[in-house]
Amino acid sequence: MQSFRTELENPIVEQDIIDLEKKIYDFRAGKIHEERFRSLRLARGIYGQRQPGVQMIRIKLPFGKLSFRQLLRIADIADEYASGNLHLTTRQDIQIHYVSLDRTPELWAKLEQDDITLREACGNTVRNVTSSPNAGIDLDEPFDVSPYAHAVFSYFLRNPICQEMGRKIKISFSSSDKDTAYSYIHDLGFIPKINEAGERGFKVMFAGGLGAQPFLASAVHEFLPEDQLIPFSESVLRVFDRYGERTNRNKARLKYLVQKLGLEEVLRLVEEERLANKVKSFKVDRNSVEQPEAPLAIDYPNVEIQNQLRYQQWLDTNVVEQKQKGFYAVYVKVQIGDIKTDQARAFVAAVKPYVADEIRVTQNQGLLLKFVRKEALPALYAGLYELDLAELGFDSLADITTCPGTDTCNLGISNSMTLAKVLEHTIQHDFPEFIYEKNIKIKISGCMNSCGQHGLAEIGFHGSSLKAAGKVVPAVQVMLGGGTVGNGVGRVAERVIKVPSKRADLVLHALLNDFKADGYEETFHAYYDRKGKDYFYQLLKPLADLNELQATDFVDWGHEETFETAIGVGECAGVVIDLVATLLLEAEEKLGWATQALAHGAHADSIYHTYSVLVSAAKSLLLDKGINSSTQIGVIKEFDAQYVATGEFVFEPSFQEIALQINKNEPSQVFAESYLASAQQFLTQIKAKREVTA
């Protein structure tokens, strides 16, 4: 188990993994409370499964990019530590399942040997930064956003300002105004622009989100200069950390902070925070993500394609021209996002002679291959076909996005993965013409939380339940009319009707037949708007009738047993635990981090760690009085009211003035030292007080 310490070259990563190993040991020994440990492991990509005693591991792949070697490494890891299956996610990650908690440090160390991280793949952090998968080759892009996505990922990884926020932050980069990275449902969504002077910048979409209560993002900058990308994002995260909700997880997102304070006030706080930023301008290295080398032209094998019509359909639906003349990109449809490890290895062997050494995971759970020469397309198709990876209709109506649902997720209400297969089969056999329809998307989630992004689909389903004949019936909520408009504009799907899950294919038949009869010449959005929500409610109402249920209606897709709702505790973000001793222990640990950062000249990091010491320590004392404030700013104000106003602690002029020096000063060595001294003195006073009252 200790061997990884000599195999890793990066001492920061090595310490990360050693810390995880120690935390697991302390948890097993009862030294760390279960809820606190959950928060710690989530920030390291370790997520509890529906099945007890095993973990899902989320592997963080910035903007979905990985090499052949990295994919092979992940496949080896999945065989050694997990179930031998790779699951591609809507956030361009890869997940593996059924992993023992005690083996996660060793697993992580082996991944890091090929520069693959688990850090901050889950938890109350900045999640995987996503981008349009075709960034860098997109004919419509003003410039390649990949280096900017990489800069944001790198800057905020392990950054003190975003390690223990109230909830997660999601960031995306679209390659063009087509907005294929869905900026409008992100906390921060960036769309590339070039102004009249020829300078690069971004349109900024702010405080969007899906979940059970979707919010469309607001455009807060039409043109943010490229050097302000990092400073602006940092200010936003600092404000969210201080003012965001921490008690009620259902309200602990940036969209709710805007709802609470108002967009104008949140942006004012963001501007106020700029003084304390580590950087006021940040020049992104445009060459940090280089295009992969195109494969050399070779004597391509002379393959005989039996079904020329099918091959042409594949070319029409899965192959696009790149902006690099003479090269093509090939999209690979991966049903339900699952690819077995032996298939992944065979896939790499099959495509390697014909494509560049770069794969991108796509938001609809597929794969993108780059720099394919026209002459190589027949051989590439033949290789993919042999592996059942040449399915037609990538990103079309026939390419359904889904989360794992009740297969592995604690929050899943009903099955989504088998349902996706059923609906894809329905389209391929009953509506084959729709494999060319790329303006209608079907997305499925196992619950209302939208991991399958049902809220931004033209046709969406999420898992639910109904009661009939004294029993529970697995059901789907039908959502219609969502989707991307472009340039930051999107639509949230409307809830139309709830029907038994076993009738979802009949719902699809009814919708597509009606669309073919009376909407085929217009967009689905125009068709839906023209007819109105009530029309579709009436159209589908007969399918919601519970008077004629069959025995099979009480059994969910992919199951044999009668349906029961069994929802566990969700782990989409770390739980914040409010135990006095734990908070004081954390304050001591953060004081050590602040001191260490100061010694290394990392003044901004030291200052933020010091701020966290002050908040954690103040919160611990408030809990002694039974007061649990739900925000950091609330903790600061309550401490003045409960302790400073009563004379139990003396701060001149107030604790708030001391704590909030963080955004009134440049991050200099002088301020870092004085601020740290204040925190050290505060902790000393608390220790003395507790010794007296013990």
pLDDT of residue 253 exceeding 90, the answer is yes
What pLDDT does residue 378 have? Answer: 97
Give CA torsion, residues 484, 488, 490, 492, to 10 deg: 130
pLDDT above 90 (res 299)? yes
At residue 349, does pLDDT exceed 80?
yes
Q: Is the pLDDT of residue 110 over 60?
A: yes
In the CATH hierarchy, which top-level class contains the domain 308-386? alpha beta
Cβ atoms of 118 and 45 closer than 8 Å: yes
Question: Would the pLDDT of 573 be above 60?
Answer: no
Q: What is the pLDDT of residues 486-542, one digit of tens each?
A: 999 999 999 999 999 999 999 999 999 999 998 778 999 999 999 999 999 999 999
Residue 574: pLDDT band by 50, 70, 90 thresholds?
very low
Could you tell me the two tokens for 532?
Answer: 């109105």
Q: Which of 146-160, 271-285, 556-570 has the lowest mean pLDDT?
A: 556-570
Element of type H or E holding 368: strand 367-373
Residue 477 host element (H or E) = strand 471-480
Distances (CA, A) of 588 to 176, 580, 615: 47, 13, 12
pTM of the model: 0.93
Flag the least confident range among 221-230, 554-563, 622-631: 554-563
Model confidence at 665, pLDDT cuts 50, 70, 90, reads very high
Cβ contact 460:424 at 8 Å: no
> Is residue 143 within 8 Å of residue 194, measured between CB atoms?
yes
Strands 94-99 and 85-88: antiparallel
Q: How far is CA 667 from the centre of its chain?
A: 31
Q: For residue 119, is it left (φ>0), alpha (ψ between -120 and 50) or beta?
A: beta
Domain with CATH 3.30.413.10 in the chain: 130-276, 401-554
Residue 571 has pLDDT above 70, yes or no: no
d(CA 278, CA 289): 24
Please report, for residues 336, 387, 421, the alpha-carbon distance to residue 418 in angstroms, rounded to integers and kept in the order given.
9, 21, 5
The per-residue pLDDT for 519 is 75
Every domain range in the chain assigned CATH 3.30.70.3340: 308-386
Choose among 337, 335, 528, 308: nearest CA to 427: 335
User: What stretch(es) of the chain map to CATH 1.20.120.330?
Assistant: 580-693
Q: Is the pLDDT of residue 334 over 50?
A: yes
Q: What is the 3-state secondary structure (H, E, C) of 195-208?
A: CCCCCEEEEEEECC
Instruction: Find the mean pLDDT for residues 252-281.
Output: 97
Q: 151: closest CA among 44, 289, 16?
A: 289
| Range in 110-114, 433-437, 574-578 the model is least confident about | 574-578
The dotted CATH code for 4-112 is 3.90.480.20
pLDDT at 568 over 70: no
Q: Is the pLDDT of residue 21 over 90?
A: yes
User: How far is the C-alpha of 599 from the C-alpha of 355, rounded, in Å?
Assistant: 47
Among 27-36, 253-262, 301-310, 615-624, the range scoring the smallest mean pLDDT is: 27-36
The letter for the amino acid at 79 is D
- Mean pLDDT, rounded, of the chain: 92
**Buried/exposed 126-149: b ≥16 CB within 10 Å, e otherwise:** bbbbbbbbbbbbbeebbbbbbbbb
- Inter-residue long-range contacts of 218-225, CB under 8 Å, 24+ positions, other chains counted: 218/258, 218/263, 219/488, 220/263, 220/267, 222/193, 223/193, 223/195, 224/190, 225/199, 225/200, 225/201
Burial (CB count <10 Å: 0-12, 13-18, 19+), residue 532: exposed
Q: Identify the pLDDT of residue 1.
A: 43
Of 405, 524, 426, the C-alpha closest to 476 is 405
Q: Which of 464, 504, 499, 497 is nearest to 480 (CA)?
A: 497
| Structure token pair of residue 91 | 């956030």
**462 beta partners:** 445, 477
3-state SS of 20-86 is HHHHHHHHHCCCCCHHHHHHHHHCCCEEECCCCCCEEEEEECHHHEECHHHHHHHHHHHHHHCCCEE
pLDDT at site 623: 86
41 is written with which tokens? 């492991």
Whether the CB-CB separation of 656 and 636 falls below 8 Å is answered with yes
Q: Does the pLDDT at position 575 exceed 50?
A: no
Mean pLDDT for the stretch of residues 51-67: 95
Each residue of 585-614: b (16+ CB within 10 Å) or e?
bbbeebbebbeebbeeebbbbbbbbbbbbb
Using pLDDT thresholds of 50, 70 and 90, give the confidence band for residue 3: low
Residues 377 and 295 sit within 8 Å (Cβ to Cβ): no
Q: How far apart are CA 370 and CA 360, in angstroms?
A: 9
Residue 565 has pLDDT above 90, yes or no: no
Distance CA 110, CA 434 (A): 43
The CATH class for the domain spanning 401-554 reads alpha beta
- Angle between helix 229-243 and helix 263-273 axes, rounded to 10 deg: 110
Q: What is the per-residue pLDDT across 389-402, written as a single tens digit (0 to 9) for each?
A: 999 999 999 999 99
Q: What is the pLDDT of residue 577?
A: 40
Contact 55, 100 (CB under 8 A): yes
Phi-psi region of 563 (alpha: psi -120 to 50; beta: other; left: phi over 0): beta
Pairwise pLDDT comparison (364 vs 39), residue with the higher score: 364
- Going by C-alpha positions, the residue among 359, 362, 384 that lies closest to residue 370 is 359
Does the pLDDT of residue 357 top 60, yes or no? yes
Q: Could you tell me if 617 and 687 are in contact, meaning their C-beta atoms sit under 8 angstroms apart?
A: no
Q: Which two tokens stand for residue 126?
A: 């900045």
Look up the CATH number of domain 130-276.
Answer: 3.30.413.10
Reported confidence tier of residue 563, pLDDT bands at 50, 70, 90: low
Give long-range contacts, CB 8 A cutoff, 24+ apart: 598-605.
Answer: 598/669, 598/672, 598/673, 598/676, 601/669, 603/667, 603/668, 603/669, 603/671, 603/672, 604/276, 604/277, 604/278, 604/667, 605/159, 605/160, 605/278
- C-alpha distance from residue 483 to each of 135, 190, 480 (Å): 20, 18, 9
Render pLDDT for 417-433 as a digit per residue (tens, 0 to 9). Answer: 999 999 999 999 999 99
Residues spanned by CATH 3.90.480.20 within the chain? Answer: 4-112
Question: Where does the pLDDT of residue 578 fall: very low under 50, low under 70, confident under 90, or very high at 90 and above?
Answer: very low
The pLDDT value recorded for residue 46 is 93
Q: Which CATH fold topology does 580-693 show?
A: Four Helix Bundle (Hemerythrin (Met), subunit A) (1.20.120)
Contacts of 287 (CB under 8 A, 6+ apart): 147
Surface-to-core class of residue 442, CB atoms within 10 Å of its CB (0-12 exposed, 13-18 middle, 19+ buried): buried
Answer for the pair 456, 482: CB distance below 8 angstroms, yes or no.
yes
In this predicted structure, what is the pLDDT of residue 495?
95
* Model confidence at 5: pLDDT above 60: no
CB 5 within 8 A of CB 14: yes
pLDDT at 570: 53
Strand ranges, E, within 169-242 = 171-173, 188-194, 200-206, 218-225
| pLDDT given for residue 584 in this prediction | 84
Is the per-residue pLDDT at 566 higher than 60? no
pLDDT tens-digit profile of 134-164? 999 999 999 999 999 999 999 999 999 999 9
pLDDT in tens, 194-241: 999 999 999 999 999 998 889 999 999 999 999 999 999 999 999 999
